[in-house]
């Protein structure tokens, strides 16, 4: 037991010292010096916290590698959460491994200081290791769900603005650009996605490819349907304004149905707390006087 605590403590301290050295104590190499001469902003990117974290966990990722399928799946999930950096997967992996190592170490040290038995310490250490491994995943899933919900809410406003822009005489590219600018303050997530679409079109990608990349970055079903509608309307030469207007009406109908479904579920979900907490109190208040009278009657 003591050997396990010593090993875990040494591993945590060694990992912390190595991370601090890579963050602050490492001298600038020749590449960084040249980047600083060419453009000072590049050295800031090179020394950013995300890049520093990526360097710090490279040995850990080599010891505990991740498969190509899992890496692609993780990168897609991070895109859905809004992290588009190439180093985001490595940073997430680093956070997961660090939490997996530090949380059980802290729990084991706490159990040792409290004088608990070996079996109890082992159980709590295993629970802490599982929590340290799964907490980053839970947080990532929550961020994905929150971002997709914000984009889904912003889509209705974007469709209305796009109908107005297209009917005013703007082309599809100009309409996407205009809608993205108008949604900058109210819906920043949709603004960033439409801005990326416009940037991809400007650098030479086709409109169809840029729109398909939009679906890959968001993972929202309504965005996927909207992109398929735009691609078909553009390919067959039909009226984009009419197609977007019909899709906007169907989207409003779908949102109303979702709201009705949520309200119907809310009434059912309220039965559990009402049955568990409110009804027993009401029954106790009603029957308490009669129960006290009966107690007094039979006690005589």
User: Under a CB-based contact definition with an 8 Å cutoff, are residues 98 and 15 in contact?
Assistant: yes
**Torsion over CA: 65, 67, 70, 72 (sign):** positive
The whole-number pLDDT of residue 117 equals 82
Comparing 29-38, 148-157, 175-184, the range with the smallest average pLDDT is: 29-38
- The average pLDDT across 230-246 equals 83
- The average pLDDT across 8-37 equals 54
CA distance 12 to 6: 10
DSSP state of 300: -
Which of 53, 44, 143, 130 minimizes the C-alpha distance to 92? Answer: 53
Which of 189, 88, 198 minimizes the C-alpha distance to 148? Answer: 189
For the chain, give the number of residues: 300
Highest mean pLDDT among 45-59, 66-80, 158-172: 158-172
The model's pLDDT over 185-225, given as tens digits with 9 standing for 90+, comes to: 888 888 899 898 998 888 888 888 888 989 888 888 888 98
> What is the number of H-type helices and E-type strands within the chain?
15, 0
Q: How far is CA 141 from CA 95, 96, 137, 211, 220, in A?
A: 15, 14, 6, 24, 14
pTM of the complete model: 0.69
Q: Hey, where are the domains in the chain?
A: 2-145, 148-267
Topology of domain 148-267, CATH: Receptor-associated Protein (1.20.81)
DSSP state of 21: I
């Amino acid at each position: 037991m003591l050997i396990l605590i010593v090993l875990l403590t040494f591993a945590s301290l060694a990992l912390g010292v190595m991370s601090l050295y890579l963050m602050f104590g490492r001298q600038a190499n020749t590449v960084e010096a040249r980047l600083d001469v060419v453009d000072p902003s590049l050295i800031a990117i090179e020394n950013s916290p995300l890049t520093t974290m990526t360097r710090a966990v490279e040995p850990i990722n080599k010891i505990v590698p991740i498969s190509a399928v899992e890496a692609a799946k993780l990168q897609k999930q991070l895109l859905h959460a809004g992290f588009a950096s190439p180093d985001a997967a490595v940073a997430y992996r680093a956070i997961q491994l660090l939490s997996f190592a530090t949380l059980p170490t802290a729990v084991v040290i706490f159990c040792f200081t409290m004088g608990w038995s070996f079996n109890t310490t082992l159980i709590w250490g295993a629970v802490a290791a599982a929590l340290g491994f799964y907490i980053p995943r839970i947080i990532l899933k929550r961020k994905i769900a929150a971002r997709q919900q914000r984009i889904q809410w912003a889509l209705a406003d974007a469709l209305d603005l796009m109908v107005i822009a297209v009917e005013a005489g703007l082309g599809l590219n100009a309409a996407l650009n205009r809608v993205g600018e108008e949604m900058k303050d109210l819906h920043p997530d949709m603004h960033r996605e439409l801005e990326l679409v416009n940037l991809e079109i400007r650098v030479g990608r086709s409109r169809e490819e840029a729109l398909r990349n939009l679906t890959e970055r968001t993972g929202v079903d309504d965005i996927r349907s909207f992109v398929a509608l735009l691609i078909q309307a553009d390919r067959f030469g039909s009226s984009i304004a009419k197609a977007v207007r019909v899709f906007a009406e169907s989207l409003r109908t779908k949102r109303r149905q979702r709201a009705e479904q949520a309200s119907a579920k809310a009434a059912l979900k309220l039965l559990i707390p009402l049955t568990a907490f409110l009804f027993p109190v009401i029954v106790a208040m009603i029957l308490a006087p009669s129960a006290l009278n009966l107690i007094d009657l039979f006690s005589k």
